[in-house]
Amino acid sequence: MSSTSDKVKGLANEAVGNIKQGVGKVTDNDKLRAEGVIQEKKGEAQQAVGKTKDAVKKATE
């Protein structure tokens, strides 16, 4: 997976996670809120992987 792909998928996961958290909060659904937090953190991690790949690529050029 490319660094751009990692970053885009990370942003998408983070956004969906935030939405799930919001819907869970409004509907008082703790399970949905927890799923949202997990998905948001997954997205943040994916973005970090993409940024690391970019840094490694720049360092080796």
Domain boundaries, the chain: 3-60
Please determine, for residue 48, whether its predicted confidence score (pLDDT) is greater than 90: yes
First to last CA, the chain: 19
Structure-derived torsion over alpha carbons of residues 28, 33, 31, 42, reported in degrees to the nearest 10: 170
Closest CA to 47 of 16, 2, 10: 10
Phi-psi domain of 28 (left: phi exceeds 0; alpha: psi -120 through 50; beta: other): left
Closest CA to 32 of 19, 48, 45: 19
Please determine, for residue 61, whether its predicted confidence score (pLDDT) is greater than 90: no
pLDDT of 34: 98
pLDDT of 2: 87
Please determine, for residue 59, whether its predicted confidence score (pLDDT) is greater than 90: yes
User: Which tens digits make up the pLDDT trace of 13-33?
Assistant: 999 999 999 999 999 999 999
Instruction: Provide the whole-model pTM.
Output: 0.84
